Amino acid sequence: MTDLDTRAAPGRSAAPRRASLRRAAPALLGYAAVRALGLLVLAVWSAARDKSAYTLLTARWDSLWYSRVADGGYGYEVRLPHGDVHSDLAFFPLLPWLERLGAAVSPLSYADAGLVVSLLASLAAAWGIYAVGEHVHGRRAGICLVLLWAVLPVGVVQSMAYSESLFTALAAWSLYAVLTRRWVTAGALALLAGLTRPVGLAVAAAVWVAAVAAFARSGSHPAADGAPGSGRAPGEGARRALGMLLAPLGAAGYVLWVGHRTGDGVFGYLDVQAGWRNGFDGGWAFARFVADMFTSFPSALGGAGLVVGVALVVLLYAAGVRRREPLPLLVYTGLVTLLALCASGYFGSKPRLLLPAFPLLLPLAVALARVRTSRSAAVLAILAAGSAAYGAFWLNGSGPP
């Protein structure tokens, strides 16, 4: 990575990849153990209900749409009786491209390839999350951050043929590249994240905010970077500008392509999402959905849980602001959270849409890192068991839409 400024992160950023992997090994092993437990519980639970855990992971909900795009390209849509149109153009192309590649170079089906991509991407995501946590708060906090992300109640999605793991891996490593001033790498990964999910624009925004802040601090034109006494690597400003240029190209390119294909211009993708009854209304529809849950006693318990969950998310973000977490993390997390909570549809999807917002867990990771290892391990073990049970129950029930 030629755009590394070793002065920005001495020793850590310049460490060989193998040394970085050795430092991350406890986090990755712990993450793998949590995911293995979740899959084991899912398999047993599903068998008891005469269902296939493999089908739940690879051939339901969005997984079917991704496999269909991988198989035949775009152009499939479902017209519902009440007039809505569900088009496969709502699904960004990177995961289907990788599924097609996996099926082309191996005997795997598209669904199999999607599962393999997700499993590998989840490990890459765990490594990237560790790298961010270690860079910001040290090794113990990095390990705790990964394990907290692993034991989230909807963590089973990390093992599904969905795009959450792939997106989180690209986002985490892009953010780490920003934090360590690898501008071209950050921009390229943001581009790929933008080809994975629409919220990839949050990664691009983080790159832009960090780059603009760096330009403001330098107080000079990119060409002046690297001058004697500047404290910056030669050409850093040019690489920073290139990273900014690359970052939004993935999401913007796909949205513009959809607009061209549908003939609706820049609003084409919004029209596609509207066909799914999904849009951005500032959270009004979600608020009404929660309020309606309080009209009867059984559902009121679920409504109370949603209120507590949203409050916890807001409190965690506020804690990150108070702790003055790095600006790129705050921008990225804020946008992911805002888009997840303020979308007008698919209210049951909001927990999984928040999965990529891993920096929300930083305050908890720092607190857990200060606890004795035996106690933190016990807490994480209990959470892992609860996550495994909930994931199995969830996928065998309503599951993610």
Q: Which tens digits make up the pLDDT trace of 232-260?
A: 666 889 999 999 999 999 999 999 999 99
Q: Higher-confidence residue: 122 or 3?
A: 122
For residue 77, the cross-strand partners are 87
Phi then psi for residue 11, to 5 deg, are: 80, -55
CA–CA separation, 57 and 63 (whole Å): 8
Task: Please check whether residue 400 lies inside any domain of the structure.
Answer: no
Task: Please check whether residue 367 lies inside any domain of the structure.
Answer: yes
At 225 the pLDDT is 55
Q: What pLDDT, in 10s, does the model give residues 164-178?
A: 999 999 999 999 999
**pLDDT greater than 70 at residue 365:** yes
Contacts of 315 (CB under 8 A, 6+ apart): none
Tell me if residue 280 falls in helix, strand or coil.
strand
Task: Please check whether residue 5 lies inside any domain of the structure.
Answer: no
For residue 79, the cross-strand partners are 85
CB of 202 closer than 8 Å to CB of 339: yes
**pLDDT greater than 70 at residue 2:** no
CB of 162 closer than 8 Å to CB of 36: no
Phi then psi for residue 85, to 5 deg, are: -120, 115
CA–CA separation, 5 and 181 (whole Å): 6
Q: What pLDDT, in 10s, does the model give residues 291-329?
A: 888 888 788 888 888 899 999 999 999 999 999 999 999
CA–CA separation, 171 and 333 (whole Å): 11
Task: Please check whether residue 298 lies inside any domain of the structure.
Answer: yes
Task: Please check whether residue 2 lies inside any domain of the structure.
Answer: no
Residue 1 confidence class, pLDDT cut points 50, 70, 90: very low
Residue 347 confidence class, pLDDT cut points 50, 70, 90: confident
Tell me if residue 13 falls in helix, strand or coil.
coil
- Average pLDDT of the segment spanning 135-152: 97
Q: What pLDDT, in 10s, does the model give residues 23-78?
A: 999 999 999 999 999 999 999 999 999 999 999 999 989 999 999 999 999 999 99
Query: Which residue bears the tokens 């500008």?
Result: 241
Task: Please check whether residue 209 lies inside any domain of the structure.
Answer: yes
CB of 30 closer than 8 Å to CB of 150: yes
Tell me if residue 397 falls in helix, strand or coil.
coil
DSSP 153: T
Tell me if residue 77 falls in helix, strand or coil.
strand
Tell me if residue 367 falls in helix, strand or coil.
helix
Provide the residue range defining the domain that includes 302. Answer: 17-395
For residue 280, the cross-strand partners are 343
Residue 3 confidence class, pLDDT cut points 50, 70, 90: very low
| Mean confidence (pLDDT) of the chain | 91
Greatest alpha-carbon pair distance for the chain in Å reads 70
At 286 the pLDDT is 87
pTM for this model (two decimals):
0.92
DSSP 204: H
Task: Please check whether residue 6 lies inside any domain of the structure.
Answer: no
At 226 the pLDDT is 52
CA–CA separation, 332 and 315 (whole Å): 16
At 290 the pLDDT is 86
Closest CA to 145 of 38, 28, 41: 28
**What percent of the chain clears pLDDT 70, i.e. is strictly above it?**
92
Q: What pLDDT, in 10s, does the model give residues 82-110?
A: 888 999 999 999 999 999 999 999 999 99
At 289 the pLDDT is 85
Q: Higher-confidence residue: 305 or 193?
A: 193
Q: Work out how many domains the chain is built from and give that number.
A: 1
* Neighbouring C-alpha atoms within 13 Å toward the C-beta of 173: 19
DSSP H or E run through 382? helix 373-395
Contacts of 179 (CB under 8 A, 6+ apart): 9, 132, 135, 136, 326, 328
Task: Please check whether residue 335 lies inside any domain of the structure.
Answer: yes
